Structures are given as C-alpha cells and as structure tokens.
Structure 1
Amino acid sequence: MIARTRTILLGLAVAALALGGGFAARQLMDSRTVSTAVGTELGAPFELVDHTGAPITEAAFEGRPSLLFFGFTHCPEICPTTVYDMETWLTELDVAPDALGAFFVTIDPERDTPEFLADYLEPQSERIIGITGAPEDVWAMAKSWRVYFQKRPLGEGEYTMDHYASVFVLNTEGQVVDLIGFGENPEIAKAKIASVL
C-alpha cells in the first residue's frame, strides 16, 4: 500500500512537471532556485518608472525594508490576491507607509503602462508602488532578480503570463532575507515581515 502510494505521488509529480506551464510545477522549481539566493544580493541597477510616471531606480529598495512582487495586471488570481494580501498584512501589522516599501513590478510592460498600473493598484492600496518601463529594461530588471516569466499565447492575439509567484522580503540593504509564498499562512507571512521591521 505504501509503495503504491509512493508510485502514485511520483507519477503526479512527473505529470505536473511535464505540463511545463503549470503553476504548481513552476512555483516549486522557482522557489528552489530563488531560495538558494536568500541572504545574498540579487538585482542590478535599473532606471524605470513608477505608476505615477516618476523615475525609479534600485535605490528605492534601500534604506528601509521592502516587499517586492513581480506580476501583471491581467493576472486572473495570483496577482490581485497578492496585492490584497500585502495590503492586509501591512494594515494588520500597523506598518507606517514610510517604514516599509511595497512594490509591484510588472512582467507585462507591453500592456502595463504607468496609467494602467495606477488604475489597478490605487483602488486596492495607497502604499504599493507599481514599476514599469520599456519592455527590454523591465525584463532585464526581472531577470536580474532571477524571476521566472514567460508569455503564453491564448489564441487570437491574446496571451497570459506565467510567472514566479512569491513575495521577496528585503532588508534595509535591498537583500532577500525571506520569501512569502502564494497562499502562505497569514500569520507566518506577517511574522516574516515583522522580522525585518
């Protein structure tokens, strides 16, 4: 019975990996890749714009702790849920806006203009800053954080984006000290945030 259960579980794991575009398989692989870099420096200098159109650089991630998430506004579930969760965690922890930065970097800059990001973020949060810019520059920035993303065609010119789904928890030097996985227990997520405050 135990051997049969193991065989079934192994088969399911192989099937998930074979799907390639599946969220669960991608999340497992990407978490393993990024988690090896916790405590080390990720990222490279960049010059992009925030959701108000103002210039923003890597300096935004320094001088105070930050939460950093890579997503896109046309995302049906993961991204809106994560934006809601980030705002909820910070509200429940009673974190002042100037005590911790919160950033949403689009991995779909072709559609996510500053105006589009503003319309998406501002109704949900007054503290989460959207980041976008020229596609090549945005993608270079995401790659410097070792973030997985890939355009997946849906037909008739439409597409979605597969992407890494965890929130980076950064210290005051802009280094990754922890990750908050999608759907993580809220108390655990808040403890991870509190540890850098």
Structure 2
Amino acid sequence: MTRIQMLFLAGVAAIVMVAGLAAGNWWVNRSQPWQQAVIGAPFELVDHDGGAITEAAFDGQVSLLFFGFTHCPEICPTTVYEMENWLRALGEEGEEVEGFFVSVDPERDTPEAMKPYLEGQSDRITGITGEPEDVWDMARSWSIYWAKGEDLGGGNYNVDHTSTVYVLDRDGNLAGTIGYGEDEGRAVETIRRVLRG
C-alpha cells in the first residue's frame, strides 16, 4: 500500500469517526430534547374566573400550555377542541393532565370574555389573562411570538402568534411540544410519554 493510499484511508476513517460522534450526539439530544431547556418564569396573573393564578398552577400534574386569543378565527378554537379530544383519548390517564390557555390579546381577553369562550368547549382548560404587560412578560419567558395586526375598524384586529402546545412535566418544566394540526395519535403519545416520565 502506497503512502498516498494510507493517508487516504486514514482521512476516510477520521471522517467516519467524526460522523459517528455527531450522529450519536444528535441521537442523545433527540431522545431527550428538553432535558436542558430552561424556559418560563414566575408570574402573577388571573384565571378566567377572575382568581389569582401563578406558575404554581403547573405543578403536580402534566400541563398543556397554549398561547392564543378568543377572537382567533381558526387556530385557537381548533386547538382548544383538539386539546379536549386529547384529554378524552387519554382516558383515566387524562385525569392527571390540565390544560391552560394564555391570552396574547389581554386587552380584549378579560376573564369575562375568556370564561364563556373556554367553558363552552371544555371544562378542563383554564384561561389565563391579566394586565397586558404582565401577560406579555409571561409570553416572552416562554419564547412566544405574537404580533398585533392592523386595526380593521371598530377595534377589530388579528394577532399572529405561536401555535404550538407546550407539554409541561409535573414540575412545570417544558417536556415536549405538539404542533398545530399534529396527528391525534402522535399528540396523545407525546402526552403519555411525559405522564410516564
């Protein structure tokens, strides 16, 4: 074997080794994607009954956390409907899961507006709102995107926003996500994975 062939083989071996290490690192991160995630912050807001609510509401059970607004034409009502379906599909396991809907439009989404909106669709999802800056601080702490659209007249406007549902573990830490429109079976399996730790 010539010196050039030996150098070539050594180079190929090095590339294979680096690729293997990269693949292994990717697999570890894929297997436990939220292990190092630090997201969320303490907050003091109000629920859709007008009572005080803090981050302690996320402790002790698995939580589904979604940020939206009651005037949303499609994504939000669909997501609330899907969350209710996931809870039903979980059966008895679903009794250990709570849903939360945080408004990104607190100027319109008072407790009085959120209560009939949510209770008309589910008795398992708690609305969260409050003073706008306090709500927006909470949304920022969860890395939520939102942007108020132009006024269409009469105070009517849309709000673009993150449409992902965050799945929190029993300590209130991010443990998974469910994308908008995700297959129900996959969504339920994500919640089950968090439930089973």
Helix, strand or coil for the counterpart of 1:48? strand
Query: Structure 2 CA distance, aligned partners of 1:194 and 1:77?
Result: 26
Cα RMSD between the aligned structures?
1.5
- Count of residues paired in the alignment: 162
The corresponding residue for 2:181 is: 183
| 5+ long unaligned stretches in structure 1 | 1-35
CA gap 1:136/1:76 in 2 versus in 1, 3 angstroms:
same
Query: Structure 2 CA distance, aligned partners of 1:129 and 1:38?
Result: 26
How many percent identity over aligned positions?
56
Out of 119, 129, 133, the residue aligned to residue 126 of structure 2 is 129
8 Å Cα contact 2:40-2:138 kept in structure 1: yes
1:114 paired to 2:105: no
**For residues 99-131 of structure 1, what are the alpha-carbon distances to aligned partners after superposition, in whole Å with 9 as ceiling and x for unaligned?**
112100000000000011001000100010000
Matching residue's letter, 1:63: G
Q: Going by fraction, where is helix more abundant, 1 or 2?
A: 2
CA gap 1:186/1:38 in 2 versus in 1, 3 angstroms:
farther
Helix, strand or coil for the counterpart of 1:101? strand
8 Å Cα contact 2:34-2:176 kept in structure 1: no
1:62 paired to 2:35: no
Query: Structure 2 CA distance, aligned partners of 1:96 and 1:127?
Result: 14
Matching residue's letter, 2:60: G
8 Å Cα contact 1:97-1:127 kept in structure 2: no
Helix, strand or coil for the counterpart of 1:68? strand
Query: Structure 2 CA distance, aligned partners of 1:59 and 1:69?
Result: 16
Query: Structure 2 CA distance, aligned partners of 1:110 and 1:102?
Result: 22
| 5+ long unaligned stretches in structure 2 | 1-32
CA gap 1:60/1:38 in 2 versus in 1, 3 angstroms:
same
1:151 paired to 2:135: no
8 Å Cα contact 1:39-1:175 kept in structure 2: no
Task: State the 1:173 CA deviation.
Answer: 1.3
CA gap 1:191/1:39 in 2 versus in 1, 3 angstroms:
farther
CA gap 1:76/1:39 in 2 versus in 1, 3 angstroms:
farther
8 Å Cα contact 2:168-2:175 kept in structure 1: yes
Query: Structure 1 CA distance, aligned partners of 2:101 and 2:174?
Result: 16
The more displaced of 64-73 and 39-48 is 39-48
